[in-house]
């Protein structure tokens, strides 16, 4: 199976920090979790994969990808118009975009708020709206930076259900998170970063049961500092 996203020989520096990712592949239908202490390079890696940063060395190849930051930006418009915005940018006629957006809002439980201003949504609703808007443009790869960091358990589970459905629908999902329980629930594979280096890459069950690097073990035990 060909990857939907592939990185080779990535190097990126800012200040004294240097991120190095020799090789990384993301496949359709999988959720890849990126773990590591704060400052390890998780957000930088996502932004490189999304094409929002240009690496100093190496390259990223693959299909259309979408990046969702921890605090998703919203337009000063209605929930429905926010959901349809990406389709409008891609040239979908306005009435078709609104119809498709409304159907997706029904799927994520936001159809009752379609006409209200988006800024009135709760934090969990904002993330669900932003994720729905992103999924509507059908990216091959979905890159998410701590999407549930500020959410309550109920909204966290709703967002996780959307990510599972996205992967089951053929998307490649890359999820940067500090939440080990979330990784256990969702991830097929894990990439562990420490101080800008890929310390370990493994299937999720093996990473948790028998990490091969002592730093991975220390992280899982809460002993590893940035």
Give me the percent of the chain exceeding a pLDDT of 70.
98
Q: What is the pLDDT of residue 66?
A: 92
> Domain 5-220: which topology?
Rossmann fold (3.40.50)
First to last CA, the chain: 36
pLDDT tens, position by position, 78-105: 999 999 988 888 888 888 989 999 988 8
- Interior angle at CA 222, CA 217 and CA 226, nearest 5: 90
Quick one: CA dihedral 106, 112, 114, 118, positive or negative? negative
pLDDT band at residue 225, thresholds of 50, 70 and 90?
low
pLDDT band at residue 22, thresholds of 50, 70 and 90?
very high
157 phi and psi, to 5 degrees? -65, -35
Q: What is the pLDDT of residue 46?
A: 96
Is the pLDDT at 1 greater than 80, yes or no?
no
User: Can you give the residue ranges of every domain in the chain?
Assistant: 5-220
pLDDT tens, position by position, 120-156: 998 888 988 988 888 888 899 999 999 888 888 888 8
98 phi and psi, to 5 degrees? -65, -40
Q: What is the pLDDT of residue 28?
A: 95
Q: What is the pTM of this model?
A: 0.90
């Amino acid at each position: 199976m060909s990857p939907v996203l592939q990185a080779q020989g990535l190097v990126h520096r800012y200040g004294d920090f240097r991120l190095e990712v020799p090789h990384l592949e993301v496949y359709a239908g999988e959720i890849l979790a990126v773990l590591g202490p704060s400052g390890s390079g998780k957000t930088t890696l996502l932004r490189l994969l999304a094409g929002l940063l240009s690496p100093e060395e190496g390259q990223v190849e693959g299909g259309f990808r979408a990046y969702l930051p921890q605090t998703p930006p919203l337009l000063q418009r209605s929930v429905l118009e926010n959901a349809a915005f990406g389709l409008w940018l891609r040239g979908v006629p306005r009435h078709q975009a609104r119809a498709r957006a409304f159907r997706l809002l029904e799927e994520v439980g936001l159809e009752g708020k379609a006409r209200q201003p988006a800024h009135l949504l709760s934090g969990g609703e904002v993330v669900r709206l932003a994720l729905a808007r992103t999924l509507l443009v059908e990216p091959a790869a979905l890159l998410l930076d701590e999407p549930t960091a500020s959410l309550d358990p109920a909204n966290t589970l709703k967002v996780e259900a959307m990510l599972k459905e996205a992967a089951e629908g053929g998307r490649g999902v890359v999820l940067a998170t500090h939440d080990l329980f979330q990784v256990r629930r969702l991830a097929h594979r894990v990439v562990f970063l420490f101080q800008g280096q890929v310390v370990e890459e493994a299937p999720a069950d093996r990473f948790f049961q028998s990490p091969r690097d002592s730093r991975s073990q220390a992280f899982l035990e809460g002993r590893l500092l940035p």
